[in-house]
Amino acid sequence: MIKHRIFIGFTLLEVCVLGLLLLVGQAQVSDRSAQELPALRTLVGALQLTDLSLWTEARYTRHPSQTDLFTPFQDFPSALEHFPAGSILAPARRQ
Amino acid sequence: MRHLKILEYALSSLWRRKYKNIAIILVYTFTIAVLASILFLTHSLKTEASYLLDEAPELIVQKLAAGRHDLIPIDYAAQISKLPGVAEVRPRFWGYYYDALTEANYTLLEVSSGQPRLDMLQGRLPSAPGECAIGAGVAEVRRIGTGDDLILIDSSNIGVSLEVTGVFSSKSDLLTNDLVILGREDLIAFFGYPADLAADLAVRVNNPREVNTIAAKIKRQWPNSRPISRSEILRTYDAVFNWRSGMMLSVFAAALVAFCILAWDKATGISVEEKREIGILKAVGWETSNILELKFWEGTALSLTSLLLGLLAAYVHVFFLGATLLTPVIKGWSVLFPPFHLIPFIDPYQVLVIGFLTVPPYVVSTLVPSWKAAITDPETAMRG
């Protein structure tokens, strides 16, 4: 009759570890929101940034909020979008 | 007590086929870890983007020519500033630079003097000609730091040496990884901007609620313009990091299909050995409800263990290891790609969705074929 005790104990351990991670995560959210986010927001305002610096492979992937739907296909008629990041970027929903 | 004994029997039954069940747990855990990693990563990026870009310019006005972004006359700024509700219009100068030495693309941006001290900058912003501040990615790929020289080739094919006065902290990589900040005159000379043109205009309004009205007025008065509001910028990133689109959807769908195959394999039938086992249990006096409870515990033990291990693995993968396994999928052809130091924003709704999408279907797919065997005559079941 030991297996069910091991299973229940292991499951409770997993739940505790997950709960602990979520609690630590919440503490990190509060901590970093108080320390880093204000400084980063100041940076955005000072430099007037409009986009995250994620995909630097093309103009329209570097600044997806500033680009238009035409740019990925501008090379020639019937051109296909060919940058890998273009597959990840979904077009913005129109208002 | 009876339930614990049935649970004990279920665990013993799983242990009798330990290699098969360990393999199921591994595949199941991996599938859940992939699903959860994508959800954690996209939600965290989306939340962080919405916090940070809330300080983006309220309205950006571009000029279009033949549907493409064109340089905008600086004169537009004076005319737009006369519109009611407009507080300030500032021309922006920025552009892209391809560095043949490292095959990386940088974003060159100008900054006006008199900026407040930036905590995320180690050093200072450029304050004199021939100076620049760079992002951590640029510093790393060029192997330079504060006090070193960054040499770029300008639009006249002449080398320009810029002294690095500051390097942005790696904590700001998500915003500054590929940035090179120059003084306005340096940037205009570098790209050869015509004297009366700018890249676009940043408009500040008195009442944020009037942004759309002012944007409509600008569009009406200058039909070749394209106003972009802050809400559109935020909506862009809402869509970019939406797990329901793009490559994220492909990875997500592949993992979901793998899980469906696993569950379908369970649901389409049980082995002869398992049927015989159920027949023997019925013959020695087990009720159908006891057998169903037995199979319920078997399914729950496997799926719950896999769910918890998968969520743990996904959390560690995304928030401790910086999503290293997903980075090659997301990175594309970017030479400069910021390492992820994500803030662990988690949406409990998504965790519940993963749980409901994975545990109940697996348990049901275990119960259904077992029920069919449980209601069969024991002698028929034992004979196979």
B26-44 pLDDT, tens digit each: 988 998 998 899 889 888 9
Considering the domain architecture, whether residues A42 and A55 belong to the same structural domain is answered as no
Kindly report, residue by residue over B339-367, the tens digit of the pLDDT: 888 889 888 888 898 898 888 888 888 88
Considering the domain architecture, whether residues A40 and A62 belong to the same structural domain is answered as no
Considering the domain architecture, whether residues A54 and A68 belong to the same structural domain is answered as yes
Residues in B 108-167 with any Cβ partner in A closer than 8 A:
109, 111, 115-116, 118-121, 135, 137
Q: Which residues of B touch A64 (CB under 8 A)?
A: 236-237, 240
Supply the range of the domain harboring residue A11: 1-49
Residue B105 banded pLDDT, cuts 50, 70, 90: very high
Domain count, chain A: 2
DSSP-derived secondary structure for B155-184: TTS-EEEEEEEEEE-GGGHHHHTTEEEEEH
Flag if A40 and B237 touch (Cβ within 8 Å): no
Considering the domain architecture, whether residues A56 and A79 belong to the same structural domain is answered as yes
Strand partners, B72: B198
Flag if A3 and B8 touch (Cβ within 8 Å): yes
Residues in B 258-287 with any Cβ partner in A closer than 8 A:
none
Token pair belonging to B2:
């009876």
Considering the domain architecture, whether residues A66 and A92 belong to the same structural domain is answered as yes
For A36, which residue in chain B has the nearest alpha carbon? B171
Rounded to whole angstroms, the Cα distance separating B167 from B173 reads 11
Q: Is the model's pTM score more than 0.90?
A: no
For A71, which residue in chain B has the nearest alpha carbon? B68
Domain positions in chain B are 2-52+241-383, 58-229
Q: Which residues of A touch B245 (CB under 8 A)?
A: 90
Q: Which residues of B touch A25 (CB under 8 A)?
A: 315, 319, 344, 346
Considering the domain architecture, whether residues A60 and A95 belong to the same structural domain is answered as yes
Query: Letter for the amino acid at B130?
Result: G
C-alpha Rg value of chain A to the nearest Å: 23
H or E segment and range at residue B350? helix B348-374
Considering the domain architecture, whether residues A18 and A54 belong to the same structural domain is answered as no
What pLDDT score does A51 carry? 92
Residues in B 92-111 with any Cβ partner in A closer than 8 A:
92, 96, 104-107, 109, 111
| Mean pLDDT value across residues B245-268 | 72
Considering the domain architecture, whether residues A65 and A31 belong to the same structural domain is answered as no
Rounded to whole angstroms, the Cα distance separating A40 from B298 reads 49
Considering the domain architecture, whether residues A43 and A21 belong to the same structural domain is answered as yes
Pairing state of beta strands B104-111 and B179-183? parallel
Looking at per-residue confidence, does B202 or B262 come out higher?
B202
Say if residue B374's pLDDT is above 80.
no
Residues B163 and B149 sit within 8 Å (Cβ to Cβ): yes
How would you write B236-297 as a 3-class SS string? HHHHHCCCCCHHHHHHHHHHHHHHHHHHHHHHCCCCHHHHHHHHHHHHCCCCHHHHHHHHHH
- Segment among B40-49, B71-80, B140-149 with least mean pLDDT: B40-49
Kindly report, residue by residue over B159-170, the tens digit of the pLDDT: 999 999 999 999
CA distance A23 to chain B (A): 10
A73 touches B: beta carbon within 8 Å: no
A77 touches B: beta carbon within 8 Å: no
Pairing state of beta strands B131-134 and B159-168? parallel
Q: Which of B69, B103, B240 to mutate to test the interface with A (most CBs of A within 10 A)?
A: B240
Helical pair A3-47 and B288-315, crossing angle rounded to 10 deg: 30
Token pair belonging to A43:
């940076």
Burial of B102 (0-12, 13-18, 19+ CB in 10 A): middle
Considering the domain architecture, whether residues A21 and A41 belong to the same structural domain is answered as yes
> pLDDT exceeding 70 applies to what percent of chain B?
96
| Mean pLDDT value across residues B162-188 | 94
Flag if B171 and A40 touch (Cβ within 8 Å): yes
Rounded to whole angstroms, the Cα distance separating B221 from B61 reads 12
Residue B310 banded pLDDT, cuts 50, 70, 90: very high
Q: What is the ipTM of this complex?
A: 0.88
Chain centroid to CA B234: how far?
14
Considering the domain architecture, whether residues A68 and A54 belong to the same structural domain is answered as yes
Considering the domain architecture, whether residues A66 and A36 belong to the same structural domain is answered as no
A82 touches B: beta carbon within 8 Å: no
Say if residue B145's pLDDT is above 70.
yes
